Amino acid sequence: MNIDLHGKTALVTGASGELGRAIVLALARCGADIAIHYYRSKEKAISLQEQVARIGSKNCIVQADVTKQESVNNMKSIVEADLQSPDIIVTSAVIQYTQTEILDQSTQDYISQFESCILHNVLMAQAFVPSMISRGWGRVIGINTECSMQCFPTQSAYVAGKRGMDGVLRVLAKEIGKHQITVNQVAPGWMISENLPEDNEERHIVYKEKVPLGRRGNEQDVANVVAFLSSDLANFITGAFIPVCGGNVMPTI
The DSSP annotation for 121-134 comes to HHHHHHHHHHHHHH
Of the residues 38, 39, 97, 158, only one is catalytic, namely 158
Which helix (H) or strand (E) element contains residue 218?
none
Half-sphere exposure of 54 (CA within 13 A, CB side): 7
User: What is the Cα–Cα distance from 19 to 36, expressed in whole angstroms?
Assistant: 13
In the annotation, is 158 catalytic?
Answer: yes
Nearest CA to 210 among 241, 246, 251?
A: 246
* Segments in the chain forming alpha helices (H): 18-29, 42-55, 69-82, 107-113, 120-135, 147-150, 156-176, 202-210, 219-230
The residues carrying an active-site annotation are 158
